[in-house]
Chain A
Amino acid sequence: GAVVSQHPSRVICKSGTSVKIECRSLDFQATTMFWYRQFPKQSLMLMATSNEGSKATYEQGVEKDKFLINHASLTLSTLTVTSAHPEDSSFYICSAGGQGVKAKNIQYFGAGTRLSVL
Chain B
Amino acid sequence: AQKITQTQPGMFVQEKEAVTLDCTYDTSDQSYGLFWYKQPSSGEMIFLIYQGSYDEQNATEGRYSLNFQKARKSANLVISASQLGDSAMYFCAMREGLRGTGNQFYFGTGTSLTVIP
List residues of chain A with CB under 8 Å of any chain B CB. Answer: 1, 30-32, 34, 38, 41-44, 46, 49, 51, 91, 93, 95-99, 102, 104-112, 114
Most chain A beta-carbon neighbours within 10 Å: one of B33, B47, B95, B108: B47
A49 touching B102, Cβ below 8 Å:
yes
Given A43-B91, A44-B91, the answer on whether A109 and B45 have CB atoms closer than 8 Å is: yes
B105 touching A34, Cβ below 8 Å:
yes
Question: 30 A-B pairs, CB-CB below 8 angstroms?
Answer: A30-B101, A31-B101, A32-B101, A32-B102, A34-B104, A43-B91, A43-B110, A44-B45, A44-B91, A44-B107, A46-B105, A49-B102, A49-B104, A51-B102, A95-B105, A96-B101, A98-B101, A99-B101, A102-B50, A104-B101, A105-B52, A105-B98, A106-B47, A107-B35, A107-B95, A107-B101, A107-B105, A109-B37, A109-B47, A112-B45
Most chain A beta-carbon neighbours within 10 Å: one of B43, B98, B109, B110: B43
Complex CA gap A95/B45 in Å reads: 9
Residue of A with least CB distance to B100: A104
A111 touching B105, Cβ below 8 Å:
no
Complex CA gap A70/B112 in Å reads: 34
Q: Shortest distance in angstroms between B47's beta carbon and chain A's nearest beta carbon?
A: 6
B44 touching A111, Cβ below 8 Å:
yes
Q: Shortest distance in angstroms between A38's beta carbon and chain B's nearest beta carbon?
A: 8
Given A42-B109, A105-B95, A106-B35, the answer on whether A114 and B101 have CB atoms closer than 8 Å is: no
Complex CA gap A108/B35 in Å reads: 11
Complex CA gap A30/B102 in Å reads: 9
Residue of A with least CB distance to B9: A41
B1-44 near A? 1/0 per residue, CB < 8 Å: 00000000000000000000000000000000101010000111
B37: chain A residues at CB < 8 Å are 109
A97: chain B residues at CB < 8 Å are 101
Most chain B beta-carbon neighbours within 10 Å: one of A31, A91, A98, A107: A107
